[in-house]
Amino acid sequence: MLISELLTDIGDLTDYKIHFAKYDQKKEPLDVYLADFDNEWKGWNAWSTGNNIFSRKYIFSLINFYPENNTWLFGGIWEVKSFNRELAEKVKNKQAEPCYLYDIELSKKYRDLIGRLKISYEHKDRAVRVMMEKYFPRLELKEILAEPYSEKSFAGYKNLHVDFAKMKRIVTKSLPEWKNALQIKGIYLLTDKLTNRRYVGQAAGEGGIWQRWSDYVNTYHGGNVGLKKYLSEKGQDYFDNNFTFTLLEIVESNLENDINDRETYWKNVLLSRNPEFGFNEN
């Protein structure tokens, strides 16, 4: 089923631009949407480099739903109230940094589908702000969720890979499903996405992986010497934006030697004790 068959009251397509919001080398739009819809996600649609990229009345926002390939989550329809042309000229002439140049307001159109409507489309084009009439007829309905997508439900062990910002939100909210599921022992990996440097660690104490998550949320370094040095150099915002946590394996044995052996195995495989590739110092 095409989206055009569902959203039949969308109006004139030439009144819209579609915003295919993708990873911007700092944050995933899905994480921004989940963390702060009213301010930060709104800002993603109000931001401009100085060009009038949203030069139509409405913005049809789609969020790259990275847990699933070629999938987009509906992020609302935003009405463009005004564009700050004077400031835009300063941005274009490098007299000011790219900033929020649009005054936008969330439209009532299909507001009930925000965060619920999942769309299938393989967007290969470089441009992410495009003419609605060219792309809208190709969008396919994948699923309509009963409730807006949230992080409340545990995603499962098989694909447990989250960034620091998401980990912080889950721990801060103490989401029950996640907390209960992560009371396990295991070996995990922290990765700097920009440099690909890694840290292999173990969760063997009471509370398991959840306790290690809590440690990182509170300290960022979790007591590791190498990460402490890196944190003092880069700062917390860098960790929030560039570090990821991955569960490598669950260790069911309660023997200390067994979990130490598995940690050593992964350190060797991933070369994390080599300063060029990792942060492990022992």
| Domain segments of the chain as ranges | 3-144, 161-270
Question: What pLDDT sits at residue 87?
Answer: 84
Task: Locate 133 and state its tokens.
Answer: 């009439």
Q: What is the pTM of this model?
A: 0.69
- The secondary structure of residue 99, as a DSSP letter, is E
Cα dihedral 276, 277, 279, 281, rounded to 10, equals: -70
Separation between Cα atoms, residue 44 and residue 257, nearest integer Å: 49
Query: 203 vs 97, 188, 232, CA distance in Å?
Result: 43, 8, 24
Q: What is the pLDDT of residues 114-170, one digit of tens each?
A: 999 999 999 988 899 999 999 999 999 999 999 898 877 787 887 788 889 889 989
Task: Locate 33 and state its tokens.
Answer: 């949407």
The answer for 222, left when phi > 0, alpha when psi is -120 to 50, beta otherwise, is left
Question: Mapping DSSP to helix (H, G, I), strand (E, B) and coil, where does residue 90 land?
Answer: helix
> In whole angstroms, how large is the CA radius of gyration of the chain?
22
Question: What pLDDT sits at residue 99?
Answer: 79
Question: What pLDDT sits at residue 282?
Answer: 84
- Which DSSP string corresponds to 149-175? --S-S---STT-EEEHHHHHHHHHHT-
CATH number of 161-270: 3.40.1440.10
* Percent above pLDDT 90 for the chain: 66
- Measured from the Cβ of residue 70, the count of other Cβ atoms closer than 10 Å reads 14
Separation between Cα atoms, residue 103 and residue 82, nearest integer Å: 5
Question: Mapping DSSP to helix (H, G, I), strand (E, B) and coil, where does residue 13 land?
Answer: helix
Q: pLDDT tens digits, the chain, 282 residues: what are they?
A: 999 999 999 999 999 999 999 988 778 898 889 888 999 999 999 988 888 888 999 999 999 998 788 999 999 999 999 988 888 888 888 888 887 888 999 999 999 999 999 999 999 888 999 999 999 999 999 999 998 988 777 878 877 888 898 899 899 989 998 999 999 999 999 999 999 999 999 999 889 999 999 999 999 999 889 999 999 999 999 998 899 999 999 998 877 788 999 999 999 999 999 988 999 988
Share the mean pLDDT of the chain. 91
Contact of 70 with 121, CB cutoff 8 Å:
yes
Listed residue (97, 88, 98, 140) closest to 118, CA to CA = 140
